[in-house]
Structure 1
Amino acid sequence: MSDPDLIDVQEIAPAEVAELDLYQKREKIYTRKIEGFYQRLRMFTGWPMLLGYYCIPWISINGRQAVWFDLPEREFHIFGLTFWPQDFSLLAFLLIIAAFSLFAVTVSAGRVWCGYTCPQTVWTSIFMWIEQKAEGTRNQRIKLDKQPWSLTKAARKLSKHGAWMFVAFMTGMTFVGYFYPVRELSYELATLSTGNWQLAWTVFFTLATYINAGWMREQVCTYMCPYARFQSVMFDADTLIVSYDASRGDPRGSRKKSLAHRDAGLGDCIDCELCVQVCPTGIDIRDGLQYECIGCALCVDACNSVMRKMGYEPGLVRYTSERELEGGKTHWLRPRIIGYIVVLALMVGVFSYNIFSRIPLELTVIRDRNNLYVETADGGIENIYRLHIVNMDTSPHEYVLSVEGLEGATIKGQTHYALAASEDREVTLRVNTQAASLVTPSTSFTFEIAAKDMASLRASTESRFMKPL
């Protein structure tokens, strides 16, 4: 007899048991070439970046490479301005501005950075274009990969990988050229006389470009890029995203162009899957917003081309917002966007002020702590100081050193210094004054250095003068 207070537990076998791999083997994506408005728009976003990347190191300003990060000399030359490690706070500020700009753009326009300007997207597009030129259309590439190896197949594959490697090598060499004079680097690589480090980094970035843009492609965006993972935190109901209008497109189905599809109970989507075939990450946009979507709008151009052929209104797949898909209206000026704009404007203003008001001169003073003071025969007191003077300007200057705030003080040592462009110099000198003029055992005063030919080029730093108790 069973106890009524006990619950009868039965083992129920699951209908299906499957293993889920956290990382699945990549399935090669054969993208189809498509043309349209957004792909023409990419010409004005990707190509300027490419031309700038490849050409800027070859441009000279005042006899020096326009952008050159000279690590051994700890100098960073950017379009006529020279920055030093002391200016790293400006770099941190610039990175914060870039991050806020990316957040602001993402909140309002989604992943347009990924789709139009991201280096991974741009270089992958170049490699895909090369692949299409070497191996043919999507169907031809699928057929070629299924064929057994032959001279024709080997020639096409070799031409593709050769072109890939050339672009990758130019990319790697150019990147190293931002840290080592690119003209010297190109000559040394051509004559096989380059140093080990220059060669090693060139090979490294060449292989990185070749692998990322040629082989990994969408896996970089899916698995390696953190932006795809945290983008949803920045999205809201008014963020522009590439979306499929299910209310208009469903039910899907193929049909003849002459068919009155509405009367037949069909939506505008003819289920051609062209949007899937052109997607560089291999997703189906009709399944809704997915983190793999980079917002490149290839599916938009593909769908619009089909809609025009069928005589339907374009925009079945389009840039829109979740609110607009639900029948509402996108709010452009919302508190979140206004907040980003205000903060960005303030940060850009402060950064610009710091750049244009920056004085390319630095003076550092360290007082000798081994001898607090030296008493002279005439009743004077001397302190010893070590000065570090850095001329961060791109022109030579003659500087004059003086002291302020110490009554009757004189400098025993050199007070005029001729410094070349980007030169730093360390000097040791003595400051002398009469003990009677000192009220306290420790007196604060200022070293000041100024250029003779430029009144605005001056720097000062505070130090202390010691006397006996």
Structure 2
Amino acid sequence: MKSEDKKSSVGIQIPVKNIKIHQPKQDENYKPRDQIYVRKVKGFFQQFRQKMNFVFLAVFAVLPWLQYNGHQAILFDIAEQRFTLWGLTLWPQDLTLLAWLFILSAFLLFFVTTFLGRVWCGYLCPQTVWTFIFIWFEEKIEGTANQRKALDNQKLNFNKFWRKALKHFCWLLFSIITSLTFAGYFVPVEQVFIDFFTFNMSLGLAAVVWFFAFCTYGNAGWMREIMCLHMCPYARFQSAMFDKDTLTVTYDYNRGENRGPRSRKQDPKKLELGDCIDCNLCVHVCPTGIDIRNGLQYECINCGACVDACDGVMDRMNYDRGLIRYTTEHELEGKKVHFIRPKLIGYALVLTIMTVLLVMEIVNRKPVSIDIIRDRTELAKENFNGEIENVYTLKILNKSQTDNRYRLSVKGINNPVWNGEQEVTVKAASVFTLPMSLTVDPFELDGYMTDITFVIELVSDEDEVVVEHESRFFNKR
């Protein structure tokens, strides 16, 4: 068969990019389950990551303690079925706002990933932040990566015992504080800390606190990269948002190969070597234990540790920086990089539209709502005066952060008599239940059922909030 016939029978061939994989000799016996001893590295990206981690941790720790108008500024009170966000109180009826917020956050993540790759994982992901905090405890107590490895290979002695015991004590203490702070977003934070340290915490809340504490201890202390590699769904689908113009941590293969050791005075061109001296520092500083020189991998969290490590080596060798850097596939191929592209514009457009819709819904949100519950035992009854009476229960929800007084009325029916309070005071962020009834002369009713509307108005000199709720008034058959 001719070559043309073979091509036509196979169909369109998909181009395959071959990546040469080089494994250093000292890592040939590396096992996937071997513990990773992350080596400390200094550089611009690590300083930036540490500052971002500090900001994230500070925000997480401080937010539950902030007060607004005499109450906790941020409180997701599941027991009372209300979420407080500064001056905004969200109830189950307002869950559409949370849905908009989650959708907006998702598209923001898509936008950032398309532009900057997996930077969320490297700089702001709680798993990464807490893992590096736990590694910091290791470095302070057990020493450098080589010292920690040597300590683990020693037989149990007093030096090893007290260092390991102190490390795990610090891990557990930090996990407990983390768990108590997290619980403070759902239960008043002062109550959480006081009840915990005075042993007055309820069994259910104590179980939640200890469960989350042990999860933090296990995830950041023991599992670490396992969470990123095998349990995080973002690691699996983030590549779908990448394209050839996405900024990712990348090894410049053309410049680095062939790799090999040499002295600082030797000319790599005469040795037919590239700029990579095969020192493996990029592997030693990686929190997920990968070799970035093997190409783009889903395990890479874009933390930039290998970039700083490689730049330090390049400086010592008097080579140009950037052998490993944040770059795009098009740039490595010598092509023009398109930072503004259709996919990015699409995400930005969706983000803008959703932000506008969210703001509009918050602005147009009524600070009060009313639910009408009819008497289910009897739709209508005739009183001793021969009038038709319908019984209702009004549930008035004050969504604002201040106590308000409301005026109630009804329209859509002629000459109704309101039996019950028509002006009520509802406390801030609470529900007021008002039983009442309407009586109407049967001669005012045209049929078996009449559409009516309950109206609630804010009694105030400054402004009035009018909320209407439709209901029915039934006649006797």
Quick one: which of 344, 348, 359 aligns to 1:341?
348
How far does the alpha carbon of each residue in 1:196-224 deviate from its partner, in whole angstroms, 9 at most, with x for none? 12221111111111110011100000011
Name the TM-score, length of structure 2 as normaliser: 0.90
Please state how far the C-alpha of 1:360 moved relative to its aligned partner.
Answer: 2.1
Cα drift, residue 71 of structure 1: 2.1
Match of 1:461 in 2: 469
2:413 pairs with 1:406 = yes
- The letter for the 1-side match of 2:122 is G
> Residue in 2 aligned with 1:389?
396
Contact preservation (8 Å) 2:44, 2:308 = yes
Structure 2 equivalent of residue 320 of structure 1: 327
Residue 196 (1) aligns with residue 203 (2): yes
* Match of residue 230, structure 2, among 223, 226, 246: 223
Q: Distance in 2 between matches of 1:216 and 1:434?
A: 74
Residue 282 of structure 1 is matched in structure 2 by 289
**Which residue in the other structure is 1:303 paired with?**
310
The alpha carbon displacement at 1:423 in A equals 2.3
Amino acid at match of 1:86: Q
Q: Which amino acid aligns with 1:230?
A: F
1:76 is the counterpart of 2:83: yes
Q: Distance in 2 between matches of 1:170 and 1:378?
A: 67
Task: Indicate the residue corresponding to 1:109 in structure 2.
Answer: 116
Structure 1 residues not aligned, in runs of 5+ = 1-23
Structure 1 CA distance for aligned equivalents of residues 384 and 196 of structure 2: 66
Displacement of 1:377 in angstroms is 6.1
Distance in 2, matches of 1:318 and 1:345, equals 31
Residue aligned with 1:45, SS:
helix
Partner of 1:184: 191
- Two-structure CA RMSD over aligned residues (Å): 1.7
The corresponding residue for 2:27 is none
Q: How does 1:58-207 map to 2 (within 5 A)?
A: 58-207=65-214
Q: Distance in 2 between matches of 1:215 and 1:245?
A: 33
3-state SS of 1:31 partner: coil
Instruction: Report the Cα distance in structure 2 between the residues aligned to 1:80 and 1:371, rounded to whole angstroms.
Output: 41
1:308-364 CA-to-partner distances (Å, cap 9, x unmatched) read 111111111011111222111221111111111011111011112212332221101
What SS class does the counterpart of residue 253 from structure 1 fall into?
Answer: coil
Task: Tell me the residue number matched to 1:452.
Answer: 459
Q: CA separation in 2, counterparts of 1:370 and 1:170?
A: 53
Unmatched segments (≥5 aa) in structure 2: 1-30
Q: Secondary structure at the match of 2:456?
A: strand
| CA offset digits 1:246-301 (Å, max 9, x no partner) | 00100001111111212321111111110000000000000001111111110011
Report Cα offsets for 1:118-140 as digits up to 9, x if no partner. 00000001011111111111111
2:87, 2:400 within 8 Å by CA — same for their partners in 1?
Answer: no
Q: How many percent identity over aligned positions?
A: 46
TM-score norm. by structure 1 comes to 0.91
Q: Using the alignment, how far apart are the partners of 1:329 and 1:215 within structure 2?
A: 43
Cα offset, 1:57, TM superposition? 1.4
C-alpha distance in 2, partners of 1:67/1:283?
A: 40
Instruction: Please show how residues 43-54 of structure 1 align to structure 2 within 5 Å.
Output: 43-54=50-61
Match for 1:277: what amino acid?
Answer: H
**2:383 and 2:139 mapped to 1: Cα distance?**
85
Q: Secondary structure at the match of 2:437?
A: strand
| C-alpha distance in structure 2 between counterparts of 1:377 and 1:94, whole Å | 55
